[in-house]
Chain A
Amino acid sequence: MDFSYTETQDMIRETLSRFLADTYDFDSRSKMIASSTGRDPGIWKALAQDLGMLGASFSEDHGGLGGGHLENALIMEELGKVIAIEPYLQTVVLGGGALKAVGGAAADAVIPEIINGNVIIAFAYAEPQGRYNLANIRTTAKKDGASYVLNGHKGVVYAAPWATHLLVTARTGGATTDVNGVSLFLIDANAKGIVRRDYPTVDGSQASEIYFENAAIPADALLGDEGAGLPLIERIVDEATVAVCAESCGVTAKLHQGTLDYARQRNQFGQPISRFQVLQHRMVDMFMEVEQSKSMTTMATLKLDLPAAERMAAVSACKAKVSRSAQFVGQNAIQTHGGIGITQELAIGHFFKRATMIENQFGSADHHYERFERLTLAD
């Protein structure tokens, strides 16, 4: 058992932290979001080509640094500290995770392009009726000679307006919630028959509703075996769930720090409000939630390669705890700030918005408590 980071991991964290401090202050972020594309493509390029950051979690064979889940977690945590809107989760954790899992020609072709920043992937899995059940899929993929033909509607696909590729879950067989018959595809985002309705999200990103209207895609877009994709999808979603937990650690650490800083300089009743014990204890409770989120994220990150049932129980334990912590820390950060906390002008509210979206991303606390119970608390 060992809980120390390697020198390379420390270096990744420091390099990224310095870069983001220079490029991702609150004003710069606001400007990116307000721009016509809703982002600054130069940042992604720099992350890839100047910092080599996008290769941190890929093998050296593919041109990466040879890391894995821990590297993803510490990069996500740093991105969380500046509420970055970069599509790292979608491109590297989800897209890269799927490609690493299946290997072969697709991995050899696409991973190097992820690492050098040319590929951005969006994960089209959620459907309006499906909630958090990954098998609840109505989108169909019908084999037709050398192609599959996609039909259906995917909802709230983060980063889709920026994407070069879509990672899509679809039914190649079975009924809407069947475990069998689910397949995973990596397709060209601009293929014919894909209709997108783009919109901003409340937490500063961009997303789309995606409609597949007889979109024909080549058969080699299939990742893994046809109809047997669910375990792969569950695995990459678990990896992504832990990655947003890591992001949440960064977001909530900043919510807590921002609250401390504010309480020290805000005077009421003739003294800084940080002197009031009721607020001190609240800020201690926030601190404890942040620390426990870090502990759970470390735990789950280290368990991502265990057999599926153990992995899922660990990930759900982590997300259940982190979701509640994100809510607690976010709400109390706003409350401690008072009126100024609910204005657009202060960064704190924007951290709160991201924390709030993280609560339910890849499943609410309730969803994960339930999955944890199913796996560990049989009668």
Chain B
Amino acid sequence: MQLEFSPAEIAFQKEVRNFIAENYPENLRSVQDEGHDLSKEDFLSWHRILAKKGWIAPAWPVEYGGTGWTATERFIWSEELAAADCVGTMPFGLSMVGPVIYTFGTPEQKAKFLPGILSGDDWWCQGYSEPGAGSDLASLRTKAVRDGDDYVVNGQKTWTTMAQHADWGFFLVRTDSDAKAQEGISFLLIDMKSPGVTVRPIITLGGEHEVNEVWLEDVRVPVENRVYEENKGWTCAKFLLAHERTGIAAVARSKRGVEKIKAIARTEQDGDRPLIANPFFKRKISELEIDLTALEFTELRSLAGEASGKGPGPESSLLKIKGSEIQQRITELALEAVGHYGAPYFRGFGEGDNEHPIGPDYAHRAAPTYFNTRKTTIYGGSNEIQRNIIAKMVLGI
């Protein structure tokens, strides 16, 4: 065991740091700094730069377009991205459906879909939750009925993140209504431009349009767009959930978040001292930081286990639970730190606005981010569901 990076790893760190510094889009940086909502093009501009470099999917096997980096190099990469405040890449293609397709897909499916995921030409969304199927995902009712070489799909999905931009969606649908809940589900790839697909926005507490309702009315989906066997979609779903959970720890970004809170707390005054000198606030920061270190080293131990051949297993639920709680605590402390100036409703910098928005820049998004981040303990399998998974799969009770 050793913590130090090897000379090769230090060289790698320097290489990726330089690459980010030289290639991160200037205009994207200013959009972020001013607290604007990011457009589809904003996300894609950075995605395309990474795709061109061949660094868009470090976790993928090399044969499908991965980088072949070691676990340590991937750790360094995520640290550097977070330290430079780079926007994230959308997970739906790269972390979710991509690994499902290269693991369970046919050669034709791999050839058809993987290049678009890597290049960013295809924007993906995830059709899982339904109004009546949240934590109990397997109770989903969206139905796909076979008709010749097509399935005809009817139903409603919800909480579909960024579906408003999506070219493609991966959907869990019921193909056998008589089977036990998990056994009658199939995994379909649906062209979002198909007739019968309707996307309606849901506006969340921070005022954002991130999630949507997706209505499917007699949508025809070619059978060749089913991944893996009919009625075996739950296998893909479980595989995908485990992959989704590890990324969800968000350690590198949370470290950056803690640094930002410290900076705010050194600026904000609390009587005749900076807020960071308030022993109660200071204790909340130190508890947060120490818990984040515990999460970081739990993830590193888990990655070391993965490198020795174990895939991400049910223990990744631990990373999801602790990672999401920490993300929320960061937003709580940020909101607490900005004091009065958490309240003004921030409308962004509209066209032709001459006046600076109310309050310090770091306060503008404190409340919306706090509200928005309540999602982390709910999505990807709520934290209560994650505890059920650990109880069953790890503890055997």
Contact = CB atoms under 8 A, between A and B. Distances in A.
Do A and B make up one complex? yes
B298 interface: yes
Point out which of B295, B298, B394, B396 has the most chain A C-beta atoms below 10 A from its C-beta. Answer: B298
A1 interface: yes
Interface string B271-284: 00110110000110
A3 B304 contact: yes
Nearest to A260: B395
Interface string A277-315: 100110111011001101110110111000000000000
A320 interface: yes
A285 B387 CA distance: 8
Contacts of A302: 1-3
Interface string B170-196: 000000000000000000000000000
A373 interface: yes
A253 to B, nearest CB: 12
B391 to A, nearest CB: 4
Interface residues of B, number: 47
Nearest to B305: A3
Contacts of B75: 1
A3 B394 contact: no
A280 B287 CA distance: 26
Contacts of B1: 2-5, 70, 298, 301-302
A377 B322 contact: no
Given A280-B391, A288-B322, A320 B290 contact: yes
Nearest to A325: B294
Nearest to B75: A1
Nearest to B297: A295
Contacts of A317: 289-290, 293
Contact of A321 (B266, B274, B290): B290
Interface in A361-379: 369, 372-373, 376-377, 379
Given A1-B5, A70-B1, A317-B290, A280 B394 contact: no
Point out which of A283, A292, A302 has the most chain B C-beta atoms below 10 A from its C-beta. Answer: A292
A377 B391 contact: no
B37 interface: no
A114 to B, nearest CB: 24
A259 to B, nearest CB: 10
B321 to A, nearest CB: 7
B291 A288 contact: no
A291 B388 contact: no
B296 to A, nearest CB: 8
B282 A377 contact: yes
Nearest to B304: A3
A143 interface: no
A263 interface: yes
A217 to B, nearest CB: 39
A260 B395 CA distance: 8
B286 A288 contact: no
B308 A291 contact: no
A197 interface: no
Nearest to B281: A377
A299 B262 contact: no
A34 B395 CA distance: 35
Contacts of A4: 1, 304, 308
Nearest to A70: B1
A369 B282 CA distance: 10
Given A3-B1, A372-B290, A274 B397 contact: yes
A260 B295 CA distance: 24
Contacts of B289: 317, 376
B231 to A, nearest CB: 29
A192 interface: no
A264 interface: yes
A291 B303 CA distance: 14
Given A5-B1, A70-B1, A372-B290, A299 B297 contact: yes
Interface in B1-29: 1-6, 9
Interface string B314-332: 0100100110000000000
A70 B1 CA distance: 8
Given A369-B286, A377-B262, A287 B297 contact: no
Contacts of B375: none
Point out which of A260, A275, A284, A294 has the most chain B C-beta atoms below 10 A from its C-beta. Answer: A284
Nearest to A372: B286
Given A4-B308, A280-B391, A298-B1, A373 B286 contact: yes
A377 B277 CA distance: 8
B397 A263 contact: yes
A157 B322 CA distance: 38
B285 interface: yes
A196 B239 CA distance: 63
Contact of B397 (A283, A288, A303): A283
Nearest to B283: A369
A69 to B, nearest CB: 10
B286 A284 contact: no
B301 interface: yes
A302 B5 CA distance: 13
A298 B3 CA distance: 10
A367 to B, nearest CB: 12
B2 A2 contact: yes
Contact of B298 (A264, A277, A295, A379): A295
B390 A1 contact: no
Given A283-B397, A302-B1, A302-B3, A377 B287 contact: no
B300 interface: yes
19 contacts: A3-B1, A277-B388, A284-B387, A287-B318, A287-B395, A288-B318, A288-B322, A296-B290, A296-B293, A298-B297, A299-B293, A301-B1, A302-B1, A303-B3, A317-B293, A320-B290, A372-B286, A373-B283, A379-B274
Given A281-B391, A284-B395, A377-B286, 16 more contacts: A2-B1, A3-B300, A4-B1, A277-B388, A283-B391, A284-B387, A292-B294, A295-B295, A298-B1, A299-B293, A302-B1, A302-B2, A320-B286, A373-B283, A377-B276, A379-B273
Nearest 3 CB-CB pairs, A to B?
A295-B297, A3-B304, A280-B391
Interface of B: 1-6, 9, 72, 75, 262, 266, 273-274, 276-277, 282-283, 285-287, 289-291, 293-298, 300-301, 303-304, 308, 315, 318, 321-322, 384, 387-388, 390-391, 394-397
